[in-house]
Structure 1
Protein backbone atom coordinates (compact mmCIF):
# COMPACT_ATOMS: atom_id res chain seq x y z
CA UNK A 1 0.00 0.00 0.00
CA UNK A 2 1.46 3.35 -0.99
CA UNK A 3 1.80 6.17 1.49
CA UNK A 4 -0.05 9.44 0.90
CA UNK A 5 2.24 12.29 0.01
CA UNK A 6 1.67 15.78 1.32
CA UNK A 7 2.97 17.12 -1.99
CA UNK A 8 0.24 15.26 -3.91
CA UNK A 9 -2.48 16.48 -1.56
CA UNK A 10 -1.19 20.06 -1.73
CA UNK A 11 -1.07 19.89 -5.53
CA UNK A 12 -4.67 18.67 -5.66
CA UNK A 13 -5.73 21.45 -3.29
CA UNK A 14 -3.95 24.20 -5.22
CA UNK A 15 -5.08 22.90 -8.61
CA UNK A 16 -8.73 22.69 -7.52
CA UNK A 17 -8.53 26.14 -5.92
CA UNK A 18 -7.14 27.71 -9.07
CA UNK A 19 -9.66 25.95 -11.29
CA UNK A 20 -12.66 26.93 -9.15
CA UNK A 21 -11.45 30.50 -8.77
CA UNK A 22 -11.15 30.81 -12.56
CA UNK A 23 -14.50 29.07 -13.15
CA UNK A 24 -16.26 31.37 -10.68
CA UNK A 25 -14.73 34.38 -12.42
CA UNK A 26 -15.83 33.15 -15.83
CA UNK A 27 -19.33 32.34 -14.59
CA UNK A 28 -19.66 35.75 -12.96
CA UNK A 29 -18.34 37.57 -16.05
CA UNK A 30 -21.18 36.03 -18.07
CA UNK A 31 -23.63 37.78 -15.70
CA UNK A 32 -24.81 34.50 -14.22
CA UNK A 33 -25.72 34.10 -10.57
CA UNK A 34 -23.01 32.32 -8.62
CA UNK A 35 -24.10 29.10 -6.90
CA UNK A 36 -24.50 29.02 -3.15
CA UNK A 37 -22.16 27.13 -0.84
CA UNK A 38 -24.25 24.58 1.07
CA UNK A 39 -24.21 24.82 4.84
CA UNK A 40 -23.85 21.04 5.06
CA UNK A 41 -20.51 21.01 3.19
CA UNK A 42 -18.37 21.82 6.25
CA UNK A 43 -20.61 19.72 8.50
CA UNK A 44 -20.22 16.56 6.41
CA UNK A 45 -16.47 17.06 6.05
CA UNK A 46 -16.17 17.54 9.81
CA UNK A 47 -18.14 14.33 10.44
CA UNK A 48 -15.78 12.40 8.16
CA UNK A 49 -12.82 13.85 10.05
CA UNK A 50 -14.34 12.76 13.37
CA UNK A 51 -14.94 9.21 12.07
CA UNK A 52 -11.37 8.95 10.80
CA UNK A 53 -9.93 10.29 14.05
CA UNK A 54 -12.08 7.97 16.18
CA UNK A 55 -10.98 5.00 14.06
CA UNK A 56 -7.33 5.99 14.40
CA UNK A 57 -7.57 6.39 18.17
CA UNK A 58 -9.38 3.07 18.55
CA UNK A 59 -6.83 1.21 16.43
CA UNK A 60 -3.95 2.90 18.22
CA UNK A 61 -5.17 1.79 21.65
CA UNK A 62 -5.88 -1.77 20.46
CA UNK A 63 -2.47 -2.03 18.79
CA UNK A 64 -0.74 -0.70 21.90
CA UNK A 65 -2.55 -3.22 24.10
CA UNK A 66 -1.62 -6.02 21.69
CA UNK A 67 2.02 -4.88 21.52
CA UNK A 68 2.27 -4.73 25.31
CA UNK A 69 0.64 -8.20 25.49
CA UNK A 70 -2.03 -7.08 27.92
CA UNK A 71 -4.37 -9.86 29.02
CA UNK A 72 -7.67 -9.71 27.14
CA UNK A 73 -6.24 -7.47 24.41
CA UNK A 74 -8.50 -7.61 21.38
CA UNK A 75 -6.44 -8.36 18.23
CA UNK A 76 -6.65 -6.08 15.22
CA UNK A 77 -7.90 -7.72 12.05
CA UNK A 78 -5.51 -6.92 9.19
CA UNK A 79 -8.30 -6.56 6.62
CA UNK A 80 -10.25 -4.16 8.83
CA UNK A 81 -7.16 -2.05 9.36
CA UNK A 82 -6.38 -2.10 5.63
CA UNK A 83 -9.94 -1.01 4.82
CA UNK A 84 -9.68 1.82 7.33
CA UNK A 85 -6.44 3.03 5.74
CA UNK A 86 -7.91 2.85 2.23
CA UNK A 87 -10.98 4.78 3.40
CA UNK A 88 -8.70 7.37 4.97
CA UNK A 89 -6.59 7.73 1.86
CA UNK A 90 -9.62 8.07 -0.40
CA UNK A 91 -11.16 10.59 1.98
CA UNK A 92 -7.95 12.62 2.05
CA UNK A 93 -7.70 12.77 -1.73
CA UNK A 94 -11.34 13.76 -2.21
CA UNK A 95 -11.20 16.24 0.67
CA UNK A 96 -8.13 17.92 -0.79
CA UNK A 97 -10.06 18.44 -4.04
CA UNK A 98 -13.24 19.61 -2.30
CA UNK A 99 -11.40 21.91 0.10
CA UNK A 100 -9.44 23.38 -2.81
CA UNK A 101 -12.64 23.94 -4.74
CA UNK A 102 -14.33 25.70 -1.86
CA UNK A 103 -11.13 27.61 -1.16
CA UNK A 104 -10.97 28.94 -4.72
CA UNK A 105 -14.66 29.84 -4.70
CA UNK A 106 -14.36 31.52 -1.29
CA UNK A 107 -11.32 33.46 -2.46
CA UNK A 108 -13.25 34.71 -5.49
CA UNK A 109 -16.10 35.81 -3.23
CA UNK A 110 -13.70 37.62 -0.90
CA UNK A 111 -11.94 39.38 -3.74
CA UNK A 112 -14.84 40.46 -5.93
CA UNK A 113 -18.24 39.91 -4.36
CA UNK A 114 -18.09 41.11 -0.75
CA UNK A 115 -20.46 43.99 -1.58
CA UNK A 116 -23.40 41.57 -1.59
CA UNK A 117 -24.44 40.72 1.99
CA UNK A 118 -25.30 37.05 1.46
CA UNK A 119 -21.93 36.47 -0.24
CA UNK A 120 -20.14 37.19 3.05
CA UNK A 121 -22.06 34.29 4.52
CA UNK A 122 -21.18 32.12 1.52
CA UNK A 123 -17.49 33.01 1.91
CA UNK A 124 -17.71 31.99 5.58
CA UNK A 125 -19.25 28.61 4.66
CA UNK A 126 -16.54 28.10 2.04
CA UNK A 127 -13.84 28.91 4.60
CA UNK A 128 -15.33 26.47 7.09
CA UNK A 129 -15.43 23.79 4.37
CA UNK A 130 -11.71 24.38 3.72
CA UNK A 131 -10.90 24.01 7.43
CA UNK A 132 -13.01 20.85 7.71
CA UNK A 133 -11.41 19.42 4.55
CA UNK A 134 -7.96 20.02 6.00
CA UNK A 135 -9.10 18.26 9.20
CA UNK A 136 -10.08 15.23 7.10
CA UNK A 137 -6.63 15.21 5.51
CA UNK A 138 -4.92 15.47 8.91
CA UNK A 139 -7.05 12.68 10.40
CA UNK A 140 -6.39 10.44 7.39
CA UNK A 141 -2.64 10.98 7.64
CA UNK A 142 -2.78 10.17 11.34
CA UNK A 143 -4.78 6.98 10.68
CA UNK A 144 -2.23 5.95 8.06
CA UNK A 145 0.58 6.53 10.54
CA UNK A 146 -1.16 4.48 13.24
CA UNK A 147 -1.56 1.50 10.88
CA UNK A 148 1.99 1.57 9.50
CA UNK A 149 4.12 -1.53 10.02
CA UNK A 150 7.33 -0.90 11.88
CA UNK A 151 10.62 -2.13 10.42
CA UNK A 152 10.95 -5.83 11.03
CA UNK A 153 7.21 -6.44 11.57
CA UNK A 154 5.75 -9.11 9.33
CA UNK A 155 3.23 -11.94 9.34
CA UNK A 156 5.52 -14.31 11.27
CA UNK A 157 6.00 -11.86 14.12
CA UNK A 158 2.29 -11.17 14.60
CA UNK A 159 0.62 -14.39 13.55
CA UNK A 160 -1.35 -12.49 10.90
CA UNK A 161 -3.06 -10.26 13.47
CA UNK A 162 -0.75 -7.27 13.61
CA UNK A 163 -1.13 -3.82 12.16
CA UNK A 164 -1.40 -3.40 8.42
CA UNK A 165 0.15 -0.81 6.20
CA UNK A 166 3.30 -0.11 4.31
CA UNK A 167 6.90 -0.20 5.31
CA UNK A 168 8.35 2.99 6.74
Structure 2
Protein backbone atom coordinates (compact mmCIF):
# COMPACT_ATOMS: atom_id res chain seq x y z
CA UNK A 1 0.00 0.00 0.00
CA UNK A 2 1.47 3.36 -0.93
CA UNK A 3 0.99 6.53 1.00
CA UNK A 4 1.14 10.16 -0.05
CA UNK A 5 4.48 11.89 0.41
CA UNK A 6 4.67 13.77 3.68
CA UNK A 7 4.49 17.17 1.95
CA UNK A 8 1.24 16.43 0.08
CA UNK A 9 -2.12 16.90 1.70
CA UNK A 10 -4.88 14.34 1.21
CA UNK A 11 -7.42 15.08 -1.51
CA UNK A 12 -10.24 15.61 0.98
CA UNK A 13 -12.04 12.37 0.19
CA UNK A 14 -14.55 13.91 -2.20
CA UNK A 15 -16.24 11.98 -4.95
CA UNK A 16 -17.90 13.48 -7.97
CA UNK A 17 -21.46 12.45 -8.76
CA UNK A 18 -22.05 9.97 -11.56
CA UNK A 19 -21.71 11.93 -14.77
CA UNK A 20 -24.42 12.28 -17.38
CA UNK A 21 -21.81 11.36 -20.00
CA UNK A 22 -21.15 7.98 -18.38
CA UNK A 23 -24.87 7.26 -18.08
CA UNK A 24 -25.43 8.26 -21.71
CA UNK A 25 -22.54 6.10 -22.89
CA UNK A 26 -23.90 3.01 -21.12
CA UNK A 27 -27.43 3.72 -22.39
CA UNK A 28 -26.17 3.98 -25.99
CA UNK A 29 -24.18 0.74 -25.61
CA UNK A 30 -27.33 -0.94 -24.29
CA UNK A 31 -29.46 0.54 -27.08
CA UNK A 32 -27.17 -0.80 -29.80
CA UNK A 33 -26.82 -4.19 -28.09
CA UNK A 34 -30.56 -4.52 -27.56
CA UNK A 35 -31.30 -3.58 -31.14
CA UNK A 36 -28.77 -6.11 -32.48
CA UNK A 37 -29.99 -8.89 -30.19
CA UNK A 38 -33.14 -9.51 -32.24
CA UNK A 39 -31.53 -10.20 -35.66
CA UNK A 40 -28.53 -12.00 -34.15
CA UNK A 41 -30.75 -14.30 -32.09
CA UNK A 42 -32.90 -15.11 -35.14
CA UNK A 43 -29.77 -15.90 -37.16
CA UNK A 44 -28.16 -17.97 -34.38
CA UNK A 45 -31.07 -19.70 -32.64
CA UNK A 46 -33.90 -19.30 -35.10
CA UNK A 47 -36.07 -17.40 -32.62
CA UNK A 48 -35.87 -14.11 -30.73
CA UNK A 49 -35.79 -13.98 -26.91
CA UNK A 50 -39.13 -13.69 -25.15
CA UNK A 51 -39.71 -10.88 -22.68
CA UNK A 52 -41.93 -12.06 -19.83
CA UNK A 53 -43.54 -9.88 -17.17
CA UNK A 54 -41.05 -11.23 -14.62
CA UNK A 55 -38.22 -9.17 -16.15
CA UNK A 56 -39.84 -5.71 -15.88
CA UNK A 57 -41.31 -6.58 -12.48
CA UNK A 58 -37.87 -7.55 -11.15
CA UNK A 59 -36.51 -4.21 -12.37
CA UNK A 60 -39.39 -2.37 -10.69
CA UNK A 61 -38.58 -4.22 -7.45
CA UNK A 62 -34.93 -3.13 -7.68
CA UNK A 63 -36.02 0.48 -8.29
CA UNK A 64 -38.37 0.33 -5.29
CA UNK A 65 -35.62 -1.00 -3.02
CA UNK A 66 -33.21 1.69 -4.21
CA UNK A 67 -35.88 4.35 -3.72
CA UNK A 68 -36.59 3.19 -0.17
CA UNK A 69 -32.87 3.10 0.61
CA UNK A 70 -32.47 6.61 -0.84
CA UNK A 71 -35.35 7.93 1.28
CA UNK A 72 -34.07 6.33 4.49
CA UNK A 73 -30.54 7.58 3.82
CA UNK A 74 -31.77 11.10 3.06
CA UNK A 75 -33.89 11.14 6.22
CA UNK A 76 -30.97 9.95 8.34
CA UNK A 77 -28.40 12.37 6.92
CA UNK A 78 -30.44 15.46 6.03
CA UNK A 79 -33.40 15.46 8.44
CA UNK A 80 -32.06 13.75 11.55
CA UNK A 81 -28.54 15.16 10.93
CA UNK A 82 -26.87 11.88 11.82
CA UNK A 83 -23.71 10.68 10.19
CA UNK A 84 -23.62 7.31 8.51
CA UNK A 85 -20.85 4.96 9.53
CA UNK A 86 -18.10 5.33 6.92
CA UNK A 87 -18.38 1.77 5.61
CA UNK A 88 -22.17 2.12 5.23
CA UNK A 89 -21.80 5.38 3.36
CA UNK A 90 -19.23 3.88 1.00
CA UNK A 91 -21.39 0.78 0.47
CA UNK A 92 -24.40 2.94 -0.44
CA UNK A 93 -22.35 5.12 -2.77
CA UNK A 94 -20.91 2.08 -4.55
CA UNK A 95 -24.39 0.54 -4.78
CA UNK A 96 -25.82 3.78 -6.17
CA UNK A 97 -23.12 4.24 -8.79
CA UNK A 98 -23.17 0.61 -9.93
CA UNK A 99 -26.96 0.53 -10.15
CA UNK A 100 -27.05 3.83 -12.05
CA UNK A 101 -24.63 2.54 -14.71
CA UNK A 102 -26.24 -0.89 -14.98
CA UNK A 103 -29.71 0.68 -14.98
CA UNK A 104 -28.71 2.87 -17.93
CA UNK A 105 -27.35 -0.19 -19.76
CA UNK A 106 -30.52 -2.19 -19.06
CA UNK A 107 -32.83 0.69 -20.03
CA UNK A 108 -30.96 1.15 -23.28
CA UNK A 109 -30.93 -2.59 -23.95
CA UNK A 110 -34.66 -3.02 -23.52
CA UNK A 111 -35.34 0.18 -25.49
CA UNK A 112 -33.19 -1.12 -28.35
CA UNK A 113 -34.92 -4.49 -28.25
CA UNK A 114 -38.30 -2.74 -28.34
CA UNK A 115 -37.20 -0.65 -31.32
CA UNK A 116 -36.19 -3.80 -33.18
CA UNK A 117 -39.84 -4.92 -33.07
CA UNK A 118 -41.35 -1.65 -34.38
CA UNK A 119 -43.16 -2.16 -37.67
CA UNK A 120 -43.53 -5.94 -37.32
CA UNK A 121 -47.10 -7.14 -37.56
CA UNK A 122 -47.74 -10.04 -35.20
CA UNK A 123 -49.10 -10.59 -31.73
CA UNK A 124 -45.74 -11.78 -30.40
CA UNK A 125 -43.98 -8.73 -31.83
CA UNK A 126 -46.48 -6.41 -30.13
CA UNK A 127 -46.16 -8.33 -26.87
CA UNK A 128 -42.34 -8.18 -26.93
CA UNK A 129 -42.42 -4.50 -27.87
CA UNK A 130 -44.65 -3.40 -24.99
CA UNK A 131 -43.01 -5.57 -22.36
CA UNK A 132 -39.62 -4.25 -23.46
CA UNK A 133 -40.89 -0.68 -23.20
CA UNK A 134 -42.08 -1.33 -19.64
CA UNK A 135 -38.71 -2.88 -18.78
CA UNK A 136 -36.89 0.13 -20.31
CA UNK A 137 -38.99 2.50 -18.18
CA UNK A 138 -38.16 0.39 -15.12
CA UNK A 139 -34.47 0.68 -16.06
CA UNK A 140 -34.85 4.46 -16.14
CA UNK A 141 -36.48 4.26 -12.70
CA UNK A 142 -33.40 2.39 -11.46
CA UNK A 143 -31.17 5.17 -12.80
CA UNK A 144 -33.29 7.88 -11.15
CA UNK A 145 -33.48 6.15 -7.76
CA UNK A 146 -29.76 5.37 -7.89
CA UNK A 147 -28.94 9.02 -8.47
CA UNK A 148 -31.27 9.95 -5.61
CA UNK A 149 -29.42 7.50 -3.35
CA UNK A 150 -26.09 8.94 -4.42
CA UNK A 151 -27.33 12.46 -3.64
CA UNK A 152 -28.79 11.34 -0.30
CA UNK A 153 -25.33 10.28 0.83
CA UNK A 154 -23.98 13.81 0.51
CA UNK A 155 -22.93 15.41 3.76
CA UNK A 156 -22.04 18.98 4.48
CA UNK A 157 -18.32 19.54 4.65
CA UNK A 158 -16.79 21.37 7.59
CA UNK A 159 -16.29 24.41 5.33
CA UNK A 160 -20.04 24.57 4.55
CA UNK A 161 -21.12 24.57 8.19
CA UNK A 162 -21.68 27.98 9.84
Superposition TM-score tier, normalisation by shorter sequence: 0.7 to 0.9
TM-superposed deviation, 1:31: 8.4
Judge conservation of contact 1:66–1:75 (CA < 8 Å) in 2. no
- Distance, in Å, in 1 between the alignment partners of 2:60 and 2:45 is 33
1:87 pairs with 2:79:
no
Q: For residues 148 and 47 of structure 1, do their structure 2 counterparts lie closer, same or farther at Cα, with a shift above 3 Å needed?
A: same
TM-superposed deviation, 1:30: 6.7
TM-superposed deviation, 1:85: 1.7
Unpaired stretches in structure 2, ≥5 consecutive residues: 1-14
TM-score (norm 2): 0.79
Q: For residues 145 and 31 of structure 1, do their structure 2 counterparts lie closer, same or farther at Cα, with a shift above 3 Å needed?
A: closer
The residue that corresponds to 1:133 in the other structure is 139
TM-superposed deviation, 1:27: 3.7
TM-superposed deviation, 1:56: 1.1
The residue that corresponds to 1:23 in the other structure is 37
The residue that corresponds to 1:119 in the other structure is 125
CA deviation vs aligned residue, 1:99-129 (integer Å, no higher than 9, x gap): 2111111100113x2x111221111110001
Judge conservation of contact 2:104–2:139 (CA < 8 Å) in 1. yes
SS of aligned partner of 2:118:
helix
Q: For residues 105 and 79 of structure 1, do their structure 2 counterparts lie closer, same or farther at Cα, with a shift above 3 Å needed?
A: same
TM-superposed deviation, 1:92: 1.4
Judge conservation of contact 1:45–1:133 (CA < 8 Å) in 2. yes
Out of 145, 150, 157, the residue aligned to residue 156 of structure 2 is 150
1:44 pairs with 2:58:
yes
TM-superposed deviation, 1:25: 2.7
The residue that corresponds to 1:11 in the other structure is 25
- Distance, in Å, in 1 between the alignment partners of 2:45 and 2:71 is 49
Q: For residues 91 and 153 of structure 1, do their structure 2 counterparts lie closer, same or farther at Cα, with a shift above 3 Å needed?
A: farther
- Distance, in Å, in 2 between the alignment partners of 1:78 and 1:13 is 31
- Distance, in Å, in 1 between the alignment partners of 2:65 and 2:37 is 32
- Distance, in Å, in 2 between the alignment partners of 1:20 and 1:139 is 23
Aligned length: 147
The residue that corresponds to 2:11 in the other structure is none
